Amino acid sequence: MIICSVSENKDLEKRVSITPEIAKKYINLGFEIQLSENYGKHLGFEKSEYIKLGVKFVSDDKKLIESADIIIQMGLLDEDKISILKSNQTYIGILNPNENKIKLEELARKKINLFSLELLPRITRAQSMDVLSSQANLAGYKAVVESFSTFEKAIPMMMTAAGTIPAAKVLVVGAGVAGLQAIATAKRMGAIVFATDVRIASKEQVESLGGKFLTVDEAENLETEGGYAKEASEEFKKKQEELLSETLKKIDIVICTALIPGKKAPLIIKEKMLKNIKPGSVIYDLAASQGGNVAFTEVDKIIEKDGVKIMGERNILNKLPASSSSLYSKNVFNFVSNLYDKESKKININLEDEIIAKTIIK
């Protein structure tokens, strides 16, 4: 069976889906790997490195896609390339089924096997395939690094003969995978860290990393069976807003990570709340591409309001493409290994397997 991957539009996506390390693993399983010319070169993955492993390069993307049994990408390819897909091919990636519903339905009607990896169930067996967690982990780390580099004061407490510089105070909104990594990174760099989340279960995790967990009185446990956050009631939102408004008065840096799968990101820090933040403070909004957790967030811009800088990027992982590609390609390899029947050397779409049943798009 042939697995292919086409070079992404590097203006939008610098990650790749098959690193040399993972190409070798696919070949050892019995697959043939075919890639676009210059695939991964921008990340330092040389063509010669792939060729030594037995990877083939195809200069014509149309022929590359037509000859493949399995196509692995970060997301959906451009319309002209997607139209090449034919029945019985398997396409794997982060397909964003909420935004791409119509396109995916059309492809499913063509009997193309579509697997969207952000739909993976949160079960132990799927942990090694969990692309959302691996990518969010890096995003949480990078958001802290980016905001700290923009903040114009020192982060850790420094005691000198000339006086003491106090430690920066950081608030992390949302204690999922990205938020927990943000807490850990900020603590390692010497900040005092506070965190809040609608899920009560997050309290123990936040405190284990050295953060102080903030929660409203008589808080609801807003956690789905899958472990994700769900929409809060209006009463809860009001209480949370009051708590955050007061907390923001003493905060230097805010990292926002709150997302609800398949929905617009909740607006958490509203315009009137921004007035409580000290000039010179920095907010990094990881939810920018889904509408943002902060009033005035604009994708790929730094907006300044009353001396407060608000940052947010379409794809922060384009700043860590080598590391994020390494983790993503391993996640996908583990998914393909589960999908592949070694005896028949074919894809086995076993809908009794929860991993396959939850990720396939019909």
Choosing from 83, 128, 228, 337, the catalytic residue is 228
3-state secondary structure of 327: helix
For residue 105, being part of any structural domain is answered with yes
34 belongs to the catalytic site = no
Q: Is the pTM of this model over 0.85?
A: yes
Pairing of strands 340-341, 308-312: unpaired
Closest Cα partner for 257 from 320, 187, 197?
A: 197
The pLDDT score that the predictor gives to residue 50 is 98
Q: Are residues 96 and 9 in the same domain?
A: yes
Q: Are residues 99 and 60 in the same domain?
A: yes
Choosing from 127, 300, 306, 341, the catalytic residue is 127
Q: Total structural domains in the chain? A: 2
What residue numbers bound the domain in which 268 lies? 135-318
133 belongs to the catalytic site = yes
26 belongs to the catalytic site = no
- Exposed e or buried b per residue across 125-149, where buried means at least 16 C-beta atoms within 10 angstroms of its C-beta: ebeebbbbbbbbbbbbbbbbbbbbe
Element holding 205 (H helix, E strand): helix 202-208
For residue 87, being part of any structural domain is answered with yes
If one counts every other C-beta atom within 10 angstroms of the C-beta of residue 84, the result is 17
Choosing from 83, 122, 128, 353, the catalytic residue is 122
pLDDT tens for the chain, residues 1 to 362: 999 999 999 999 999 999 999 999 999 999 999 999 999 999 999 999 999 999 999 999 999 999 999 999 999 999 999 999 999 999 999 999 988 999 999 999 999 999 999 999 999 999 999 999 999 999 999 999 999 999 999 999 999 999 999 999 999 999 999 999 999 999 999 999 999 998 888 999 999 999 999 987 655 555 555 555 556 677 777 888 899 999 999 999 999 999 887 788 999 999 999 999 999 999 999 999 999 999 999 999 999 999 999 999 999 999 999 999 999 999 999 999 999 998 888 999 999 999 999 999 98
Q: Are residues 172 and 210 in the same domain?
A: yes
Q: How far apart are CA 351 and CA 344, in angstroms?
A: 18
